[in-house]
Amino acid sequence: MATYYDLLGVDPAATTEEIQRAYRRLARRHHPDVAPDGDRATMAEINSAWAVLGDPARRRLYDAGLREPAPPPPPFAPGTDDAWQPLEDDDGVDPESYSDEPYVEVERRPSDMLVMTPVLLALTAVGGFFLSILSGSAGLRTFSILLVPVSGMGFVMAPLFVMLRSKRRSRE
Amino acid sequence: MGETEAMRFLSPEWLDHLATVTASASPALDLSVHQRVTGGPDGDVEYTLRLAGGTVRVEPGPGPADVELTADYETAAAISQGRLSPASAFAAGRLRIGGSVGALVAHHEAFAGMARLLDGVAGATTY
């Protein structure tokens, strides 16, 4: 039987803060108000797991129960009379704030680099052009002039690439 | 009614017997626990155990309480008979607990004493 720890993808020895981070990450992926393909049934399970593991007393009781022999399966299946609904006290976090999570920052870095590439190319082209004038190098001047349309293409392609990748991730 | 006479689990007679047995307890804590059992032979049954001032009262029906326990009939019967622990039922999603779970966990020793008291009730119960 999958435990709430399995559901949130955390170690049973995880701290409450680690569990909360995992909960928010999954909520951002599955919350119907945040994710385009949000799944209410999955969100109900995630909420149930957080309601127990996020509360020290409930977690102690849950851990004690896990240490005992497994009983028959539960009758309270999500999707019946236990269908998803926002927690009464929720977790005090607005879904919009999920974007503050560290993993978002990690994902953002490659995109930032991609956006910066055409800027760097343009600066290289301008710098190279002035250097070619000072040095009288025809080769450097040609290279700098060729770099201008390349950086221009980069300015057009980079946003399109980022947009396509974002759409692909939201589908996942 | 004699104590050895069998009573059906959660019947009005059973609740009366529960009140009689628990009246002898003198718990050193103030706490109320409401239990709701669904899907029984007579439908849903609710009662509240009120521990206050060293006494225990059993109140049939709904009412405000510090802790709310909800389970289906089979689970409640298994817990009552000692075949399933409350913690195990909770971990399996068969027992739902609302309200002040912290108080329940903090006073587990007192509840263990109550459970021993209820063993006699289970022995005179039919399920």
Of B72, B78, B101, the CB nearest to A75: B72
CB contact under 8 A, A58 and B97: yes
Per-residue pLDDT, averaged over B101-126, amounts to 79
Confidence of residue B119 (pLDDT cuts 50, 70, 90): confident
Of B78, B84, B96, the CB nearest to A76: B96
Per-residue pLDDT, averaged over A25-41, amounts to 88
Q: What is the mean pLDDT of chain B?
A: 87
Locate CATH 1.10.287.110 in chain A.
4-100
Q: Collapsing DSSP states into helix, strand and coil, what is residue A42? A: helix
| Residue of chain A with shortest Cα separation from B74 | A75
Which CATH number is associated with domain A4-100? 1.10.287.110
- Sign of the C-alpha dihedral computed for residues A127, A131, A136 and A137 taken in this order: negative
- Contact list, A71 vs chain B (CB under 8 Å): 78, 84, 88-89, 92, 94
- Contact list, A65 vs chain B (CB under 8 Å): 85, 87-92
Q: Quote the pLDDT of residue A117.
A: 75
Instruction: Measure Cα distances from B41 to A170, B1, B18, B19 in Å.
Output: 49, 22, 19, 21
Residue A34: pLDDT over 60: yes
- Contact list, B106 vs chain A (CB under 8 Å): 57
Nearest-Å Rg of the Cα atoms of chain A is 25
What are the tens digits of pLDDT across the range A127-168? 887 778 778 888 877 878 887 887 787 777 777 766 676 666
Q: Quote the pLDDT of residue A92.
A: 52
CA distance A115 to A99: 20
What does pTM read for this prediction? 0.61
User: Ranked by mean pLDDT, which of A81-90, A106-115, A161-170 comes out on top?
Assistant: A161-170
Q: What one-character-per-residue DSSP string does B61-116 give?
A: S----SEEEEEEHHHHHHHHTTSS-HHHHHHTTSEEEEE-HHHHHHTHHHHHHHHH
For residue A141, the surrounding DSSP H or E stretch is: helix A138-171
Pick the range with the lowest mean pLDDT from A114-123, B21-30, B35-44. A114-123
Q: Quote the pLDDT of residue A23.
A: 96
Of the residues A76, A82, A88, the best mutation for testing chain B's interface (the one with the most B CB atoms within 10 Å of its CB) is A76
Residue A15 vs residue B23, higher pLDDT: A15
Confidence of residue A74 (pLDDT cuts 50, 70, 90): low
Q: Answer yes or no: is the ipTM higher than 0.90.
A: no
The domain locations on chain B are 7-117
Residue A40: pLDDT over 80: yes
- Contact list, A63 vs chain B (CB under 8 Å): 91
Provide the shortest C-alpha distance from residue A65 to chain B (in Å): 4
> CATH class for domain B7-117?
alpha beta
- Asked if residues A40 and A32 have their Cβ atoms less than 8 Å apart, the reply is yes
